[in-house]
Amino acid sequence: MTHAPRPFYDDLINHVQVAKLGRIQLKQIQQLNASEGYFLIRKHKELLNLMMRMFQLDTYSLTWIQFFKGVGIGAVAVWFLMR
C-alpha cells in the first residue's frame, strides 16, 4: 500500500502552533427600508442610511438630529417671513 506524499504545510502545522484569529466586534447599525415607496422618500431614506453608517448613529440619535434640523430650518424660514 503506497501513501500519497503529504503537502509541506501539513508538517508545519504539526510543528508550529498556529495563531488563533481574534474576535472582531462590529457594531450593527439598523438601516431603514429604502426598497419601496415614492422616489423622493426612497432617496431620503438612502441618505439617512448613509448618515447612519458614516457617523455610526442609531435610529434614536438620528431622530433627535432630524428634529433639531427641522427646528433650525423652521426658525430660518420664520425669520425670512418676518423680515
Query: What pLDDT score does 1 carry?
Result: 56
**pLDDT tens per residue, range 23-46:** 656 566 677 787 888 898 888 888
The list of the chain residues with pLDDT below 50 reads: none
Q: Where are the domains of the chain?
A: 34-83
What is the rounded distance in angstroms from the CA atom of residue 33 to the CA atom of residue 46?
9
Task: Give rounded-to-5 percent helix, strand, coil for the chain.
Answer: 60, 0, 40
Query: What pLDDT score does 25 carry?
Result: 63
| C-beta neighbour count of 37 within 10 angstroms | 12
Helix (H) or strand (E) holding 68: helix 59-82
Whether the model clears a pTM of 0.85, i.e. scores above it, the answer is no
